[in-house]
Amino acid sequence: MAVRIDGKAVAAKVREEVAAEVAELKAQGVETGMAVVLVGDDPASAIYVNNKKKACSETGIYSEVHLLPTETTQEELLALIEKLNGDPKINGILVQSPLPRHLDEKLVVEHIDPKKDVDAFHAYNVGRIMIGDFTFLPCTPAGVMKLIHETGLSVEGKRCVVVGRSNIVGKPMAMLLLHENGTVTICHSKTKDLAAICREADILVAAVGMAKLITADMVKPGAVVIDVGMNRSENGKLCGDVDYEAVEPIAGYITPVPGGVGPMTIAMLLKNAVRAARLQNGL
């Protein structure tokens, strides 16, 4: 039976570290500040934004939430980002996705000052991750690495399989595993014989957004299985990309959904905000 990696407990530890760092910076006269921009009324996005605001409050980070109507123009949104880029109170800027369809998300991300890009989505920061000389890491992959480290196992020399190739999770996830000397395979919708490749993995990261895609026959006995997915099962229950009940008896370590990777994403965002405050104040 797999050891369950408790993302809530690990995230709580990270938040404690962040709160201590924020207090230490305040003692030096530096306040950490973050701005979150939400365009439109997507209910899931509103929940995420509220969770981020609450997390900032609990760790002593000053936060602003900018709620903009769905019909906000590209020019209006870019003008707000420019204003936040120049605001010394704001160390980190996060624009909640998805944006309404008439807005160009890539253009919006590219307008955020790379020094304030706490999501690490700007091409400058993505390039820094590629060469292994980074300031910020994307929050979800960084959270996954933290959970892998919690097992006490080293990535070095391990066969690592990442299922999913998104710019937000899959690609940077593969780079972080590679930076720690894992041997990495990225799988996607065009991969032939996915099950056979997954069975080779000592570390398997599922980040594709398909409910219970990873079944028991796809997992190597004793593997570390990290489930980034957040889906609804046929009966409406929250579930991941991994068939947890079937895989748990086979894996060595496994993350649950909910309560695994999810809490880590916001915890690592807070870490990035503190790092941004330090850098912008020459600390």
Alpha-helical runs (H) found in 103-207:
105-111, 123-131, 139-150, 170-179, 194-198
Q: What does the block give as tokens for 239? A: 């579930």
- Selection from 159, 264, 172 nearest residue 219 by Cα: 159
The residue from 96, 117, 158, 220 that is catalytic is 96
Partners of 225 in the beta sheet?
Answer: 204, 254
Buried-exposed string 236-255: b where 16+ CB fall within 10 A, e elsewhere: eeebbbbbbeebbebbbbbb
Alpha-helical runs (H) found in 60-122:
74-85, 105-111
Is-contact 102 96, C-beta < 8 A?
no
CB atoms inside a 10 Å sphere around CB 112: 24
Calpha distance 170→209 (Å, rounded): 11
The residue from 115, 116, 117, 119 that is catalytic is 119
- Residue 36: alpha-carbon gap to chain centroid: 16
| Catalytic residue status for 280 | no
Calpha distance 118→68 (Å, rounded): 20
HSE-CB of 69 using CA atoms within 13 angstroms = 3
| Catalytic residue status for 106 | no
Buried-exposed string 64-94: b where 16+ CB fall within 10 A, e elsewhere: bbbebeeebeeeebbebbeebeeeeebbbbb
| Catalytic residue status for 119 | yes
Instruction: Point out the residues that are catalytic.
Output: 52, 96, 119
